[in-house]
């Protein structure tokens, strides 16, 4: 087999066979197929697409390119959850302890922030001492003992995806449905959970700006999950404005803690209850979503969900005191309010711009080497649909550099579009793909 022939085949709209996909992924992982040939193949796939079978074959080849975590020593059904990424998306921080407190085991692999979107690992590091760099043995022990563990992507897990993602990032081939679906699902399959709940975001703060694209991605990933023998459900949720009110690492941790105490924002709480009820359903703890939601509300009101977060933070080296005293979390030196320039309704809050402002403040990385300021970020006072009067505070920015906070403040003011129309906010849960 020759890579050259496979590139021609795909370029001409042909369908790649499983053996051809295996050859290409194995060769690329080992460094036998060079980046320039793989770049040509990625561009050919970008234009000619892949059918469902090819996408599944590609996912399986990528998942098997490294270690496949064996969680068979963990008793019961192991569940995982994945979000395609958004602004203010602190879902795992609240959802994982809620579900674990209900008795369903979570073995989760998380990532760091990407572009304007935040990442769970960065957020969790707001807890002094917390680490996701645990061994596989400790990961399995924690899932067995406390029902919950989160680790980062090791270099042995889906290495083909690691190489391909970096290549796609610089060859303008990221936003292709088959390539995104196989990238996400290869990591999920390699991480070993039996059941996967996907949160596919749609809107200006998401990868998929259009709802129909989000549904297509959701269907593709559910199909892959099922094809690989994992029980998979996808929820398509709104990311046209930030989730909750807090954006930025420690600020989001505080909001997640408030949610675990039953004092969280409505939209964020609704998303956690929906995703959580599906996790409980797939985990075999309940018979219906309604029963799942009741059980989740119960562990919030009796304090078990918050205690589970503290237990999890301690088990991974973090300071659990911060869970009960969130005022101990990193705090910014500077704050900067952004005021409304006129009376009216907020017709739009451009979501990816809010993410970019948080990144400028130090909440995200400008380069791979950037060090994150865990205390930096934004607390929104007003979101789409709200009425504001001139001079009212729209949001407060937090950071440690005066120039950056002023630049981000000017940019955030422009992300608010104020007008005369009271726009009806769309639903948080747009749909479910089962
Ligand atoms: N997240 C991933 O892991 N891969 C993609 O291709 C896009 C988002």
Q: Are residues 312 and 356 in the same domain?
A: no
- Same domain assignment for residues 384 and 314: no
Question: What residue owns the CA closest to ligand 1's atom 7?
Answer: 180
Same domain assignment for residues 99 and 45? no
For residue 157, how far is its CA from the centre of ligand 1 (angstroms)? 15
Residue 198's pLDDT band (cuts 50, 70, 90): very high
Output the CA–CA distances (angstroms, integers) from residue 128 to 201, 234, 321, in the order listed: 30, 33, 10
Nearest to 58 by CA among 85, 19, 12: 19
What is the residue with the minimal CA distance to atom 1 of ligand 1?
184
Closest ligand 1 atom to 111 CA: 3
> Which residue is closest in CA terms to ligand 1's atom 6?
180
> Is 219 in the same domain as 302?
yes
Regarding whether 138 and 93 lie in a shared domain, the answer is yes
Provide the number of structural domains found in the chain.
3
Atom of ligand 1 nearest to the CA of 174: 6
117: pLDDT strictly greater than 80: no
Q: In this predicted model, what pLDDT tens digit does every residue of 225-250 receive, in sequence order?
A: 999 999 999 999 999 999 999 999 99
Q: 194 CA distance to ligand 1 centroid (A)?
A: 21
* In the predicted structure, residue 114 carries a pLDDT above the cut 70: no
The mean pLDDT of 404-427, rounded to a whole number, is 93
Q: Are residues 92 and 226 in the same domain?
A: yes
The domain that holds 199 is classified in CATH as 3.40.1030.10
End residue of a domain, out of 276, 297, 324: 324
Is residue 358 among the annotated active site residues?
A: no
Q: What residues are paired with 208 via a beta bridge?
A: 202
Domain membership of residue 428 (yes or no) is no
pLDDT in tens, 311-338: 999 999 999 999 999 999 999 999 999 9
Give 425 or 115, the one with higher predicted confidence: 425
- Lookup: tokens for 18: 């499983």
Task: Please report which confidence band the pLDDT of residue 113 belongs to, taking 50, 70 and 90 as the band edges.
Answer: confident
Structural domain including 182 reads 78-324
Per-residue confidence (pLDDT) for residue 150, from 0 to 100? 94
pLDDT score of 124? 96
Distance between Cα 331 and ligand 1 center (Å)? 31
Place of tokens 């998380």: 110
Tens digit of each residue's pLDDT (9 = 90 or more) over 149-178: 999 878 889 999 989 988 987 888 988 999
* Atom 3 of ligand 1: nearest residue by CA position: 184
Q: How confident is the model at residue 101 (pLDDT cuts 50, 70, 90)?
A: very high
- For residue 172, what pLDDT is reported? 87
pLDDT greater than 90 at residue 118: no
Q: Work out the pLDDT band at 109, boundaries 50, 70, 90.
A: confident
- Active-site residue among 83, 92, 182, 183? 183
Is 61 a member of any domain?
no
**Active-site choice (105, 162, 187, 188):** 187
Determine the angle formed by the axes of helices 289-301 and 91-101, rounding to 10 degrees. Answer: 100
Q: Which two tokens stand for residue 427?
A: 């639903």
Q: Which of 62, 170, 183, 218 to mutate to test the pocket of ligand 1 (most atoms within 8 A of CB)?
A: 183
Q: How far is the CA of 207 from the centre of ligand 1 (A)?
A: 9
Shared domain check, 265 and 337:
no
Question: Are 404 and 412 within 8 A, CB to CB?
Answer: no
Q: The domain spanning residue 20 has which CATH number?
A: 1.20.970.10
Last residue of one domain, picked from the residues 324, 342, 358: 324
Flag whether 166 is in a domain. yes
- Is 204 within the bounds of a domain? yes
Mean pLDDT of 380-386: 96
**Residue 431 included in any domain:** no
The CATH number for 415's domain is 3.90.1170.30
Stretch 341-368: mean pLDDT: 91
Q: Which residues line ligand 1 (CB under 6 A)?
A: 165, 174, 179-180, 183-184
Nearest CA to ligand 1 atom 5: 180
Say if residue 252 is in the same domain as residue 389. Answer: no
How far is the C-alpha of 215 from the C-alpha of 201, rounded, in Å?
9
Q: Does residue 240 sit within a domain?
A: yes
User: Is residue 116 pLDDT above 80, yes or no?
Assistant: no
Sheet with 231-238: list strands edge to edge.
148-152, 105-110, 78-83, 195-202, 231-238, 429-433
Per-residue model confidence as pLDDT tens digits over 72-85? 999 899 999 999 98
What is the pLDDT, as a whole number, of residue 270? Answer: 98
The 10 Å Cβ neighbour count of residue 307 is: 17
Q: Answer whether residue 56 is part of any domain.
A: no
* Active-site residue identified among 78, 81, 82, 201: 82
State which ligand 1 atom lies nearest to the alpha carbon of 165: 6
Mean pLDDT (the chain, rounded) = 94
Residue 429 in domain: no
Task: Work out the percent of the chain whose per-residue pLDDT is above 90.
Answer: 85
For residues 290 and 396, state if they share a domain.
Answer: no
Residue 368 has pLDDT above 70, yes or no: no
What is the rounded CA–CA span in Å between residue 19 and residue 21? 5
Instruction: Note if 226 is an active site residue.
Output: no
Write down the pLDDT at residue 428. Answer: 96
| pLDDT for the residue 169 | 79
> Of the candidates 95, 3, 60, which has an alpha carbon nearest to the alpha carbon of residue 312?
95
Domain termination residue (choose one: 324, 349, 364): 324
Question: What is the atom index within ligand 1 of the atom nearest the CA of 180?
Answer: 6
The answer to whether 82 is a known catalytic residue is: yes
Catalytic residue among 81, 108, 163, 168: 168
Q: What's the pLDDT score for residue 144?
A: 95
Q: Does residue 148 sit in the same domain as residue 275?
A: yes
Mean pLDDT, residues 421-430 taken together? 89
Residues 308 and 342 in one domain: no
Spatial separation of the C-alpha atoms in residues 291 and 285, rounded to whole Å: 9
- 352 with 318, same domain: the answer is no
Residue 214 Cα to ligand 1 midpoint, Å, equals: 13
Q: Does residue 385 register a pLDDT over 80?
A: yes
């Amino acid at each position: 087999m020759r890579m050259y022939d496979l590139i021609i085949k795909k370029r001409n709209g042909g369908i790649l066979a499983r053996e051809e996909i295996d050859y290409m992924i194995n060769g690329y992982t080992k460094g036998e197929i060079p980046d320039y040939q793989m770049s040509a193949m990625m561009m050919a796939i970008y234009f000619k697409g892949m059918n469902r079978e090819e996408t599944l074959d590609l996912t399986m080849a990528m998942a098997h390119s490294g270690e496949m975590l064996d969680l068979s020593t963990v008793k019961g059904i192991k569940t995982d959850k994945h979000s395609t990424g958004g602004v203010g998306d602190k879902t795992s921080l609240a959802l994982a302890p809620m579900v674990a407190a209900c008795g369903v085991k979570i073995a989760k692999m998380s990532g760091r922030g990407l572009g304007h979107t935040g990442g769970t690992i960065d957020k969790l590091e707001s807890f002094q001492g917390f680490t996701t760099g645990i061994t596989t043995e400790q990961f399995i022990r924690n899932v067995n003992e406390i029902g919950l563990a989160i680790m980062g992507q090791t270099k042995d897990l889906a290495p083909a995806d690691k190489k391909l993602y970096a290549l796609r990032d610089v060859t303008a081939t990221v936003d292709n449905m088959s390539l995104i679906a196989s990238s996400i699902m290869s990591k999920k399959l390699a991480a070993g959970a039996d059941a996967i709940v996907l949160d596919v975001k749609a809107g200006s703060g998401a990868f998929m700006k259009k709802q129909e694209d989000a549904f297509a991605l959701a269907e593709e990933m559910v199909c892959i999950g099922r094809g690989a023998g994992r029980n998979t459900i996808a929820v398509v949720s709104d990311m046209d404005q930030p989730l909750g009110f807090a954006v930025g690492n420690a600020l989001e941790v505080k909001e997640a803690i408030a949610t675990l105490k039953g004092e969280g924002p409505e939209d964020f709480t609704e998303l956690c209850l929906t995703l959580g009820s599906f996790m409980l359903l797939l985990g075999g703890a309940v018979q219906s979503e309604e029963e799942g939601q009741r059980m989740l509300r119960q562990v919030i009101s009796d304090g078990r969900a918050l205690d589970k977060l503290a237990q999890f933070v301690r088990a991974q080296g973090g300071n659990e005191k911060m869970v009960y005293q969130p005022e101990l979390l990193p705090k910014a030196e500077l704050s900067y309010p952004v005021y409304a320039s006129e009376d009216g309704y907020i017709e739009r809050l451009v979501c990816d711009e809010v993410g970019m402002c948080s990144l400028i403040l130090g909440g995200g990385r400008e380069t791979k080497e950037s060090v994150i300021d865990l205390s930096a970020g934004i607390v929104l006072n007003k979101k789409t649909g709200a009425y504001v009067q001139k001079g009212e505070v729209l949001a407060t920015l937090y950071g440690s550099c005066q120039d950056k906070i002023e630049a981000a403040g000017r940019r955030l003011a422009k992300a608010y579009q104020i007008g005369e129309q009271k726009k009806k906010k769309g639903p948080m849960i747009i749909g479910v793909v089962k």
